[in-house]
Structure 1
Amino acid sequence: MELSTFSIHRRIQIVIFTLLTSAFLLRFLTANLPLTAVTALAAIFVILFHLGSRPYRVYLVNYSCFQPPPGRKCTYDLANDFLLRDGRFTTPEPVTFMQNIYSKSGLGNDTYGPPFMFEENQTPSLKSALQEAEEGIFSAVNSLLAKTKISSEEIDVVIVTCGSFSPSPSISSLIVNKYNMKPDVKTYNLSGMGCSSGVLSIDMAYRILRGGGRKIKNTLVVITESITLNWYEGEERSMLVTNCIFRVGCAAAMITNNPSRRSTAKMELTHSLRTHHGADDSAYRAAFQEEDNKGITGVSLTKDLIRVAGVNLRQHIKILAPRVLPMSELVRYVYSVVSTAMPRGELKPLVPDFTTAFDHICVHTGGKAVIEQVGRVLKFGDSVTEPARMTLNRFGNTSSSLVFYELAYFEAKNRVKKGDKMWMIAFGTGFKVGSLVWKWVSDPEPEVDNPWNDSIHNYPLKVW
């Protein structure tokens, strides 16, 4: 959702037309004024036009992450008992496979399972899926509204993303109903966009608020997933992986273009980029919902997924690098690209050192292999991927909300301060890559609802 070439050309045309019109009017309205006075008036007019046409700045006022109650922890023993109960699988092979995947996944014993796992019959249903969604959404939104002191009547836009659960009425309607929002609130309900949709929904809020004017000030973004109805009981190995790594999670964020909120906001969103690589068949089918040979629906995570993530990450950073790298690193990178194209040049361009552009990086915590692949492609050391690895251990793959649990890790560790720059990057089905670039505009204060408060003293762990 980048600014299109048409939009750029249109802005140039408007500026040229305005300048010509102003020059024409000044010519006739100021015929008796000296040239210096006419020039000064023209300069003032252009400055006022520029100030009035600039996009609005966009801020993250605050965010909240849902932390389920301790009784919902999905320990290895609980997950194992769940697999073995009532002959859920007809052969032992799927159970053995999932046990092996889970033991190597990087997930710890403190992640959270969906409500149906703790019910007597342990049967996923629409009712339990709605319960999972409502618990996370209402908890996160309640906490967010209390922290920001923004009432539901002040919310102009609601954006909800939930990748694989799309009930009717929609989740955005559920939120409007629950919080008695005003009739002219604009709502958007995103689905099927995978783990990158948290970043992409913030990008959407950013685009709306940048050009929305002062009539649209506050956007509530709710980032969730309901994994209940996606439990797979077949025997296809590529589909069984999702049972092992996905866990309960939800985040809510308040995004605004209101300049009066800057002093109390956490961060300003300075850059946003999303790239879509679905034109390539292997990228399109790298993670795919389909039926197995017995007609059981599941999400297949193919063996090609990690390769696809690496290839498309490289394409993504080619676009991002010129926008964010400091000049010295950018010159070094461009030189390597040019020399690659020359006869007898280098075999491949150098990988830009993004740690020269950012103080902190939230790496997509989709799984152990994904984090390792990002580390390899971008030449990140363990200190850079530590927050991602710890977030995976503590909360598992919470899908679209994962980068906000990672953001909370930075805050809980007191690692961020005013002026710091942060990069969030996430991947999603389709295949999509999304980046958000933030600048901290204030020193963060301890949050009573930070989901790491009860465990941060245990981290980092040496888990890999």
Structure 2
Amino acid sequence: MKQLTYIQLFQISFLVFLSFTLLLHTILSYTPTTHLLNHLRRLLHSHIRFSLSCALCALLSLLYYRYTRPHPILLLNYACYKPDPRRKCTFQLSEHFVCRSARFTQKSVDFMRNIYFKSGLGEETYAPSFIFQDDQDTATLKCAVQEAQEGMFSAVDSVLSKTQIDPGRIDYVIVTCGSFSPSPSLSSLIVNRYKLKPDVKTYNLSGMGCSSGVISIDMAANVLRSSTKVQYALVIITESISLNWYFGDNRSMLVTNCIFRVGCAAAIITNDPSRRRFAKMELVHSLRTHHGSDDRAYRAAFQEEDDKGNTGVSLTKDLIRVAGVNLSEHIKILAPRVLPLSQLVYFVYSVMVSVLTRGESKPVVPDFTTAFEHFVVHTGGKAVIEQVGRVLRLGDELTEPARMSLHRFGNTSSSLVFYELAYFECKRRVKRGDRVWMIAFGTGFKVGSLVWRSLRDSCHEGDNPWNDSIHRYPLKVC
């Protein structure tokens, strides 16, 4: 039997009450009049008028609430791009490309080899097409556009198929790609490919680093919340490696060659409450914090030219410290929104003790396992995962999806949080009602959080990127 909502129960109760009141009014209208009955009838008539006034006010309040309350923000479904197996980037292939290009000193080659072996990446990550072409060692604009098209078209085709949403119903297109912004824009590419309606609103996010996947979902949610109409947003999360390969000898820039790989994700977000029974998750909270006012945080990951004019992204030694410090600041804001009362009291008490002892006693980190069943931590690298685990006091079991995603797909930048979510689902770990914390870091320096509530148990899906390898995971990664 279908369970009634509180609003439906109120409506039924109101109708019963109204029917009973009208029945009393009818009976009293035909009752023989005596002094006692006249007095009783006057009292009941007063009661009826008062009750009808209260009922009318309640009904108007209910209608006002129903038509002005924010619509729920629902994740209908998502899809992750899985490149062709011929694009797998093994260590042997990577070393062959580096040596073939003859752009690096032997010290740089040895450094990259050492970083690769310590990175936590496996032998099945994916690289862009130019690395596999023997007749060229650098990418062209055509290669970059091809990389974008392959990832975006595959992910969008898949998510549209799974949600059965007609492209003509899409009201917003949000594309995030940190370091590739061609003209026409990537969102225009999507509009052209899927023949979207003329009044579709498009947004392109760039330069926001690995946090932009979380940020783009937050943006879609804010746009949909501000609308009084039922609408749909298509969010595409990608990154370009082709034009961002570094060919110099600056060690802080060489790291990106070792850990970044090809990946893309797409999601359909809606505020349509009638779609709730078809949706995967509901967005409960979102939070973005920006720490760029601090110079070290601002320059922790920075695109610049080396002394020979080669462009690259420098990952400084401050990056891990910055991630830990700013994560601590971020959770101070998030904690009151998500933690149970017992943990909040404990946290506030520890802060008071820290103030009274002038910093000799440090505030405790709340136990976030009391607020969430699953943690989706952006896998910026092995050291970043370990730092997040230390700050949040998460054991290896809770950081497992992050470490395994880094091993299987490498750092696909902003889309990797959805590859992690796909890991949970392929393992059938997400149950209805479970709370999922998705957190990511980006240049600037930014931290973003999404808190989801699962609306159904995870089930097998034919396009899950983990389908052919999940039986091998988890594995021990040195």
Fold shared per TM-score above 0.5: yes
Question: Within 2, Cα distance between the matches of 1:343 and 1:302?
Answer: 34
Question: Within 2, Cα distance between the matches of 1:432 and 1:171?
Answer: 23
User: Is the Cα–Cα contact under 8 Å of residues 56 and 211 in structure 1 kept in the other structure?
Assistant: no
- 1:20-99 mapped onto 2 (5 Å cutoff): 37-89=52-104, 91-99=105-113
| 1:137 and 2:138 correspond | no
- The amino acid of 2:278's aligned partner reads T
Question: Within 2, Cα distance between the matches of 1:35 and 1:456?
Answer: 65
Paired positions, count: 432
- Partner residue, 1:260: 274
- Partner residue, 2:216: 201
- 1:19-418 mapped onto 2 (5 Å cutoff): 37-89=52-104, 91-120=105-134, 121-215=136-230, 217-343=231-357, 347-418=361-432
CA gap of 1:344–1:305, structure 2 versus 1, over 3 A, is closer
Question: Within 2, Cα distance between the matches of 1:363 and 1:382?
Answer: 12
Larger radius of gyration: 2
- CA shift for structure 1 position 337: 1.3
- Partner residue, 1:424: 438
1:99-139 deviation line (CA, Å, top 9, x unaligned) = 11011000000000111101122321100011111000000
SS at 2:459 equivalent: coil
SS at 1:254 equivalent: strand
- CA shift for structure 1 position 88: 2.2
Which stretch of the first structure deviates more once superposed, 329-338 or 230-239?
329-338
Question: Within 2, Cα distance between the matches of 1:310 and 1:370?
Answer: 8
CA gap of 1:334–1:293, structure 2 versus 1, over 3 A, is same
- CA shift for structure 1 position 37: 4.9
Question: Within 2, Cα distance between the matches of 1:377 and 1:296?
Answer: 36
Question: Within 2, Cα distance between the matches of 1:319 and 1:344?
Answer: 22
Question: Within 1, Cα distance between the matches of 2:288 and 2:458?
Answer: 27
User: Is the Cα–Cα contact under 8 Å of residues 205 and 255 in structure 1 kept in the other structure?
Assistant: yes
User: Is the Cα–Cα contact under 8 Å of residues 363 and 388 in structure 1 kept in the other structure?
Assistant: yes
User: Is the Cα–Cα contact under 8 Å of residues 101 and 137 in structure 2 kept in the other structure?
Assistant: no
Question: Within 1, Cα distance between the matches of 2:351 and 2:360?
Answer: 9
User: Is the Cα–Cα contact under 8 Å of residues 277 and 284 in structure 1 kept in the other structure?
Assistant: yes
- CA shift for structure 1 position 333: 1.2
Question: Within 1, Cα distance between the matches of 2:358 and 2:111?
Answer: 48
Which stretch of the first structure deviates more once superposed, 55-64 or 341-350?
341-350
1:18-75 deviation line (CA, Å, top 9, x unaligned) = xxxxxxxxxxxxxxx9666545444443343233221110111000000001110000
- CA shift for structure 1 position 424: 0.2
Question: Within 2, Cα distance between the matches of 1:281 and 1:51?
Answer: 47
- The amino acid of 2:103's aligned partner reads R
Which stretch of the first structure deviates more once superposed, 439-448 or 190-199?
439-448
User: Is the Cα–Cα contact under 8 Å of residues 336 and 346 in structure 1 kept in the other structure?
Assistant: no
Question: Within 1, Cα distance between the matches of 2:421 and 2:158?
Answer: 17
Question: Within 2, Cα distance between the matches of 1:317 and 1:51?
Answer: 33
SS at 2:288 equivalent: strand
Question: Within 1, Cα distance between the matches of 2:101 and 2:323?
Answer: 38
- Partner residue, 1:12: none
Structure 2, gaps ≥5 residues long: 1-47
SS at 2:421 equivalent: helix
- The amino acid of 2:374's aligned partner reads H
SS at 1:68 equivalent: coil
- Partner residue, 1:22: none
- Partner residue, 1:463: 477
1:151-197 deviation line (CA, Å, top 9, x unaligned) = 11011110000000000000000000000000000100100000000
Question: Within 2, Cα distance between the matches of 1:250 and 1:170?
Answer: 17
C-alpha RMSD over aligned residues: 1.6
Question: Within 2, Cα distance between the matches of 1:188 and 1:277?
Answer: 24
User: Is the Cα–Cα contact under 8 Å of residues 358 and 422 in structure 1 kept in the other structure?
Assistant: yes
SS at 1:436 equivalent: strand
- The amino acid of 2:213's aligned partner reads G
Question: Within 2, Cα distance between the matches of 1:248 and 1:189?
Answer: 19
- CA shift for structure 1 position 229: 0.4
Question: Within 2, Cα distance between the matches of 1:144 and 1:137?
Answer: 11
| TM-score (norm. length: structure 2) | 0.88
SS at 1:426 equivalent: strand
Question: Within 2, Cα distance between the matches of 1:377 and 1:445?
Answer: 32
SS at 2:449 equivalent: strand
SS at 1:253 equivalent: strand
Question: Within 1, Cα distance between the matches of 2:433 and 2:418?
Answer: 19
1:192-233 deviation line (CA, Å, top 9, x unaligned) = 000000000000011111121225x11000000111100000
- CA shift for structure 1 position 345: 7.5
CA gap of 1:287–1:344, structure 2 versus 1, over 3 A, is closer
| TM-score (norm. length: structure 1) | 0.91
User: Is the Cα–Cα contact under 8 Å of residues 221 and 252 in structure 1 kept in the other structure?
Assistant: yes
- The amino acid of 2:68's aligned partner reads S
SS at 1:278 equivalent: coil
